[in-house]
Amino acid sequence: MERENFGNRFGVLVAMAGSAIGLGNLWRFPYLVGSYGGAAFIFVYIFCVFLLCLPIFMSEVIVGRRSHANAYGAFKKLAPGTRWKWLGAISVITPIIVVSYYSVVGGWSVEYFLKACTLEFTGGMSRSEMGSMFGDFISSVWSPIVGHTIFLLLTAAIVISGVKSGIEKFGKIMMPVLFVLIILIAVRAATLPGAGEGLRYLFKPDFSKIDASVCSAALGQAFFSLSLGVGTILTYGSYVSRKENIAVSSTYTATADFLFAMLASCAIMPAVFAFGLNPQEGPGLVFETLPFIFSNMPLGWIVAILFFLALIVAALTSSISLYEVGVAYLVEEKHYSRRGASILVFLVAWVLGILCSLSFGPLSGFHIFGQTIFNLFDKLSANVLMPAGGLLLVVFVGWVMKKSDVIDEFTNGGTLKTNVRMSGFVYFLIRYVCPVAVLAVFASALIF
């Protein structure tokens, strides 16, 4: 059976950008900006994305395209008869764990989109009432599970349709829509009285706020946002044509990811300051603070609908990339049909996701290593499996693969003259600098 590829450069860009752009941009990035000093955090984040994480991103694409195989098969093909196949196993298991709890948060987005459509955020509710609404919802049994199921079914339906007809087509339509939605929200937020203070918070850095914890948080967010170490970029890289320029498509993806994160911050922070709220609200910013703002904002119900629609779309573009890793493995290594593989991944993620959802309610008292199931999955993937996968992958490219093969892939056989000139610097980053950067993510989990 002939293996599918993305159709063209735009298809590559929207698919990879979709993998990177998700809840990490629209939910996680804004609250980290608020928690770690605004523009100072953003300044460090830019450095982390383009100097440290972009070469790791390119490394994943190089492994994927060089092998033209799934996350497990790639290491069997490039390092046959070695233990590197276990890195492939990590790269298949991790995204299934991530998508199981990611789809729970995606289900919350579905619920809040429906609440916005039924005008529940129009009564001028207080901040504490919004907090109670969210707490009551996630601690209930059935509503979060229904949302989780709907979100996971949407993900499965897109993946079942295939690489070109499903993943690429969805990205081509919804990624432009996503940017338009967030721009509309950002424009509305900028017109609020007092919004200027929020914009200054985002664009006027106070460099005295930069310390080790800010650097650690920025590096961890860059790693998380670009979907590094979970096999998604490697898998998508295997669908990239030999004609595509890895440096260009990777840089475009990182740039689009950063721009969307900034647009999300511009949509949220001006509104937070306009209503005199604390920007250091943390993870509750999206589901507690923003609904309060929407309920007290003129025409806020329209903004609420647009925002939670954008949140669903952003979550879907990432979840389909996570989902595809397991499907590609089952299709190519276990010879499942795409439909059969998609159903099996759905069932596994659905059951694990139900356990994650119930950990906010009936299973809240059940702990493993002192953590609820949701928190365990989150910490295990974000603090252990993702950085471990990223570290091993960049070591594989820098120290196990032949340098000539890496350079050949990066330069398209020496035909891309600009890439030839920059290949030495990029290889130096991959071989020496990036492993240290990934180790820093590990250290941050232990220290900060």
Going from N- to C-terminal start, the domains of the chain cover 9-447
Residue 409's alpha-carbon distances to 57, 228, 413, 425, in angstroms, are 14, 19, 6, 15
The amino acid sitting at 432 is Y
Statement: residue 115 has pLDDT above 90:
yes
Residue 296 has what pLDDT? 84
Residue 266 has which token pair?
């511009």
Residue 128 has what pLDDT? 82
Residue 123 has what pLDDT? 73
Statement: residue 53 has pLDDT above 70:
yes
Q: Among 431, 361, 413, 446, which Cα is nearest to 55's?
A: 431
Q: By three-state DSSP, how is residue 371 classified? A: strand
Residue 343 has what pLDDT? 96
Q: Average pLDDT of the chain? A: 88
Residue 114 has what pLDDT? 95
Q: What are the tens digits of pLDDT across the range 83-109?
A: 998 999 999 999 999 999 999 999 999
Residue 205 has what pLDDT? 87
Q: What are the tens digits of pLDDT across the range 292-348?
A: 888 888 888 888 899 899 889 888 989 999 999 999 999 999 999 999 999 999 999
Looking at domain 9-447, its CATH architecture is Up-down Bundle (1.20)
Residue 74: pLDDT band (50, 70, 90) is very high
Pinpoint the alpha helices (H) of 36-84: 39-47, 54-67, 71-78
Please tell me the distance from the alpha carbon of residue 378 to that of residue 355, in angstroms, as a whole number. 13
- Supply φ then ψ for residue 366, to 5 degrees: -90, 120
Q: What are the tens digits of pLDDT across the range 241-250?
A: 888 999 999 9
Residues 123-131: contacts with CB under 8 Å, at least 24 apart: 123/295, 124/295, 124/296, 125/291, 125/292, 125/295, 126/292, 127/277, 127/288, 127/289, 127/292, 130/288, 130/289, 130/291, 130/292, 130/295, 131/284, 131/288
Beta pairing partners, 368: 371
DSSP secondary structure, 215-253, as one string? HHHHHHHHHHHTTTTSSHHHHHHTTS-TTS-HHHHHHHH
For a pLDDT cut of 90, what percent of the chain falls above it?
52
Segment 406-430 mean pLDDT: 94
Residue 16: pLDDT band (50, 70, 90) is confident
Lowest mean pLDDT segment, chosen from 17-26, 172-181, 231-240, 372-381: 17-26
Given a contact cutoff of 8 angstroms between Cβ atoms, the answer to whether 127 and 272 are in contact is: no
